[in-house]
Amino acid sequence: MERFVRLTAPTGKFDFLVKLLVFVLISGLMNHVRHIFVYGLPGQKTYWENLSDATFTALPMCTFALLLIGHLNALQKRLYLQATRDALTDLPNRRWFMDNTPERISPTQAMMIIDVDRFKDINDTFGHDIGDRCLRQMALHLRTSLEPGDILARIGGEEFAAVLGQADDAKLQRIATRMSEGLAFDPGQGSIQRVTASVGIARSDRTMVRHDALRLADKAVYQAKSAGRACFRVCVPDHRLATPHGFPVALPSTSLS
C-alpha cells in the first residue's frame, strides 16, 4: 500500500492533471467493459460514449481520490522524518543510521564515533538550554567537517557517528583533527568555552561487519578519552592467520593517533 501511495501521489499540478486524466480514462474503460457484459456486443455503445457517461461521476471521485492520496503521501513522509530525524540537531538519528549505512564497511571506508568532551559539565554549569545550543553548534561543526558522500548521525546524547567513504589516511587525519579540536562556544555569559571531542575511528584492510566496526570505534573513543580528550584514536581489528595445523593465530590490534 505504501508503494502504491508513493507511485500514485501527484508530485505537482501537471502530474496531478495527467494522473487525473489516466484515472478518468480507466473509469471509462471499466464502464465500457460493464456495458459489454450487461448488453452484449450487438448494439453496444462505443468506448467514448461510455467514457462520457462515466465522466460525470468519475471526475469528482478521481479528483478526491488523488487529493486524498497526495495527503497520505505527505503524511507518510512527515512521519518518516519524525521517526528518523533528530529534532534537536536536524541530523539523522540512530534508527536512520542503522537502516541506511552499509552492513559491511569496506577497506576504503571508515567508521567514526564522536563523543563531546565534558558535556555534562556544560549542562550542569549553564543549564540544559545552553547545552542544547552547544549540541546544535557541534552538530553543524561535525557536518561541515565531512565531505559529500560521508554520513553523519546523532546516535544518542552527546554522541555522534559517521561513515566515511574513500577514507584515505590524509582524509581521516584532516577530518578527525578538525572534529576533535571542536569549536569556540559562547554560552552567553561573557566567557568563551572551548568544546572539544574525543573521536574513535575503526578501519581495516579487510571488510568489517558494521557491528564490529561500531564496537572498535567505541573502543577507540575510550582510548582517546584516556589520552586526555580533544584527540582521536584509530583502532583496527585483530587479524587471524591460519597455521599449517589449521589453528588461528591472533595478531594484536594497534591504535594510532
Residue 152, sorted as left (phi over 0), alpha (psi -120 to 50) or beta, turns out to be beta
Please give the pLDDT value at position 11: 87
* 223 close to 232: Cβ distance less than 8 angstroms: no
Question: Quick one: what percent of the chain has pLDDT higher than 90?
Answer: 53
Decide if pLDDT at 255 tops 60: no
Ordered structural domains, the chain, with CATH: 2-84 (no CATH), 94-256 (3.30.70.270)
Contacting residues for 236 by C-beta, under 8 A, at least 6 apart: 202, 203, 204, 216, 253, 254
pLDDT single digits (tens) 113-128:
999 999 999 999 999 9
Residues 6+ apart with CB under 8 A from 168: none
Q: Is residue 102 within 8 Å of 163, Cβ to Cβ?
A: yes
| Pairing, β 240-242 against β 151-156 | unpaired
Report the percent of the chain where pLDDT is more than 70: 90
Q: Whose CA is closest to 256, among 169, 146, 150? A: 169
pLDDT tens column, 175-185: 999 999 999 99
Residue 79 is predicted with a pLDDT of: 86
Annotated catalytic residues are: 158
pTM of the model: 0.72
The phi-psi region of residue 175 (left if phi > 0; otherwise alpha if psi is between -120 and 50; otherwise beta) is: alpha
